[in-house]
C-alpha cells in the first residue's frame, strides 16, 4: 500500500474519532440536540470504503453518517454546523445530524428511515446505467436494515438490471438494542445477497486495510459491468445507538470479545450498568485505530513525531469546527421556505 494513502486514512480515522467524541461532549452541553448517532468503533468501514471510491461515485448513507461526510471531504466546519442546526451547515440547518447532504461531492444524503438507502441508491444507479457512465453508487446500511422490504425489493431490481451499486453492510450486530440473532433468521448478512445472485463477501470491518482492499475489488467488478456487489463488514459500535442510549443492554463480555477480535458470542450473562469508560475500552484491547497504527508503524511510514503531528492537526480541525458552528447564524423561517420551494420555477399560487 502506498504510504500517502495510508497516511490519509490514518488522519481520517483519527479525525473521525476526535470529531465524534467532541460531538458527544457538545451534545451533553446542550449545543447539539435531537438524535445524535455516533460512529466510534466503526470508523474503519467508512474510511476504508470511501478512500477506495472515486470522486464521481455517489454515496447514499444512513443517519449515522458524520464520518462518511468527513471522509468524503465535506469540511468539518459545515458538518459540525449542521449538527448545531446552523445556517452554514451542509444542509442549511434543515436536516441536522441525520440528514447531511452535499450535492457537489455527490453525497446524496443521510436517511433516517431504516431501509431507505436501498431504493435511493438503486435509482441513482439506474440513471448511471441508462446513461452508460463509468460511475458507481455506494449504499451504506446496517444489519438491522436487511429485514426491511426495500432491501429485498431493491437488491432484486439492482441484480435484474445489473445496476452499478455497491451494497455496504455495516454490521454492528445491533438494531438499536436487539442483537442480530434475535432479529435475523440468517445472521450472516452477506448470505442474503445470494438470493439475488449478487456476489457477496464478509470482511473484517475493524481492519481498514482489509476494508479498503475489498472495496477496491468490488468496485472494479462493478466498473467492469458485472452488476451490483455486496460487502458485509463486521464491526461494532462502542457507544449506544444514539446519545439517548447508554447501550446497557450489551454484555460486557461481548464488547471485550469483539475488541479482542474474537468471534462475537451470543452472550447471555452480565450486562454492564452503564456505558463502559474509555479506560475500560482501552483495557479491552486494540480497536481499529490501534490496528491501523500498527500497520503504519510496522511499515515505517510514520515516525512517532509525525503521528503526534496528525493528532494535533485533527484536534485543531475539530476545535475550529466547534468554534465555526457556535459562531454561525441561525437559519430563518425565510430560509426554510426557500429550501422547501427551491424547485419552484414558475408562478404558483399559495
Partner 1 sequence: MAEQVYYWQALNRALDAELAADESVITLGEDVGLFGGSYRVTAGLYAKYGEWRVRDTPISEGSFTGLAVGAAMVGLRPMVELMTINFALLALDAIINMAAKIPFMSGGQFPMPLVVRMPGGVAKQLAAQHSQRLEQTLMNVPGLRIAVPATPQDAYWQVRQAIRSDEPIIVLEHELLYFGKGTLDTSLEAPPMHRAQVRRQGNDLTIVTYSHMLDLSLRAAEQLAEKGIAAEVIDLRSLRPIDWDTCGASLEKTHRLLVVEEDSRFAGAGAEVAAGLTERCFYNLDAAPQRVAALELPTPFNAALEAASIPRTVDIVAAAQKLCAH
Considering only 224, 268, 269, 345, the residue that binds partner 1 (CB under 8 A) is 345
Considering only 56, 130, 282, 283, the residue that binds partner 1 (CB under 8 A) is 130
User: In the β-sheet with 58-62, what is the strand arrangement from edge to edge?
Assistant: 107-111, 58-62, 137-142, 165-171, 229-234, 200-204
Interaction of residue 69 with partner 1, rule CB under 8 A? no
Q: How far is the CB of 130 from partner 1 (least distance, A)?
A: 5
Considering only 45, 129, 218, 322, the residue that binds partner 1 (CB under 8 A) is 129
Interaction of residue 302 with partner 1, rule CB under 8 A? no
Q: Which is nearer to partner 1, 12 or 82 (CB)?
A: 82
* Residues touching partner 1, count (CB under 8 A): 51
Considering only 12, 57, 65, 102, the residue that binds partner 1 (CB under 8 A) is 102
**Most distant CA pair in the chain: distance in Å?**
67
Query: φ and ψ at 160, to 5 degrees?
Result: -60, -40
Question: CA-based Rg of the chain, rounded to a whole angstrom?
Answer: 20
Alpha carbons 221 and 45: distance in angstroms, whole number: 19
Q: Which is nearer to partner 1, 89 or 276 (CB)?
A: 89
Interaction of residue 101 with partner 1, rule CB under 8 A? yes
Interaction pattern, residues 137-166, with partner 1; x per rule: CB under 8 A:
------------xx--xx-xx--x------
Q: Which is nearer to partner 1, 127 or 282 (CB)?
A: 127
Q: How far is the CB of 75 from partner 1 (least distance, A)?
A: 15
Q: 330 with 86: CB under 8 angstroms? A: yes
Interaction of residue 91 with partner 1, rule CB under 8 A? yes
Alpha carbons 199 and 324: distance in angstroms, whole number: 44
Considering only 47, 121, 168, 321, the residue that binds partner 1 (CB under 8 A) is 121
Q: How far is the CB of 103 from partner 1 (least distance, A)?
A: 4
Length of the chain in residues, anyone?
Answer: 350
Interaction of residue 350 with partner 1, rule CB under 8 A? yes
Taking Cα atoms as reference points, which of 258, 306, 239, 251 lies closest to residue 36? Answer: 239
Considering only 27, 39, 63, 118, the residue that binds partner 1 (CB under 8 A) is 118
Interaction of residue 185 with partner 1, rule CB under 8 A? no
Q: Which is nearer to partner 1, 293 or 338 (CB)?
A: 338
Interaction of residue 220 with partner 1, rule CB under 8 A? no
Interface residue list for partner 1 (CB under 8 A): 58, 60, 89-95, 99, 101-103, 108-109, 111, 113, 116, 118-130, 149-150, 153-154, 156-157, 160, 336, 338-340, 342-350
Amino acid at each position: 500500500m502506498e504510504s500517502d494513502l495510508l497516511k490519509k486514512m490514518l488522519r481520517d480515522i483519527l479525525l473521525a474519532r476526535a470529531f465524534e467524541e467532541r460531538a458527544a461532549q457538545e451534545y451533553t452541553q446542550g449545543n447539539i440536540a435531537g438524535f445524535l448517532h455516533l460512529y466510534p468503533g466503526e470508523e474503519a468501514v467508512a474510511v476504508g470504503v470511501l478512500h477506495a471510491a472515486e470522486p464521481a461515485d455517489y454515496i447514499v448513507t444512513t443517519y449515522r453518517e458524520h464520518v462518511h461526510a468527513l471522509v468524503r471531504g465535506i469540511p468539518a466546519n459545515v458538518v459540525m454546523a449542521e449538527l448545531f442546526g446552523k445556517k452554514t451547515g451542509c444542509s442549511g440547518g434543515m436536516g441536522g445530524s441525520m440528514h447531511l447532504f452535499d450535492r457537489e461531492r455527490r453525497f446524496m444524503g443521510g436517511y433516517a428511515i431504516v431501509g431507505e438507502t436501498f431504493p435511493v441508491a438503486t435509482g441513482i444507479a439506474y440513471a448511471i446505467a441508462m446513461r452508460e457512465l463509468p460511475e458507481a453508487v455506494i449504499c451504506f446500511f446496517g444489519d438491522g436494515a436487511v429485514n426491511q422490504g426495500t432491501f429485498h425489493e431493491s437488491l432484486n431490481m439492482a441484480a435484474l438490471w445489473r445496476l452499478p451499486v455497491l451494497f455496504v453492510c455495516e454490521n454492528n450486530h445491533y438494531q438499536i438494542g436487539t442483537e442480530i440473532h434475535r432479529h435475523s433468521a440468517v445472521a450472516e448478512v452477506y448470505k442474503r445477497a445470494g438470493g439475488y445472485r449478487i456476489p457477496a463477501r464478509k470482511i473484517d470491518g475493524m481492519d481498514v486495510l482489509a476494508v479498503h482492499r475489498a472495496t477496491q475489488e468490488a468496485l472494479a467488478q462493478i466498473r467492469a459491468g458485472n452488476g451490483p456487489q455486496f460487502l458485509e463488514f463486521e464491526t461494532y459500535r462502542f457507544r449506544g445507538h444514539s446519545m439517548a442510549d447508554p447501550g446497557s443492554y450489551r454484555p460486557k463480555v461481548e464488547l471485550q470479545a469483539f475488541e479482542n477480535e474474537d468471534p462475537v458470542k451470543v452472550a447471555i450473562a452480565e450486562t454492564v450498568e452503564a456505558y463502559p469508560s474509555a479506560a475500560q475500552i482501552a483495557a479491552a484491547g486494540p480497536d481499529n485505530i490501534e490496528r491501523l497504527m500498527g500497520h503504519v508503524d510496522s511499515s515505517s511510514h510514520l515516525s512517532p513525531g509525525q503521528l503526534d503531528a496528525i493528532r494535533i492537526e485533527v484536534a485543531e480541525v475539530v476545535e475550529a469546527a466547534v468554534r465555526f458552528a457556535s459562531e454561525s447564524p441561525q437559519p430563518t423561517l425565510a430560509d426554510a421556505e426557500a429550501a422547501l420551494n427551491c424547485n419552484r420555477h414558475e408562478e404558483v399560487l399559495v
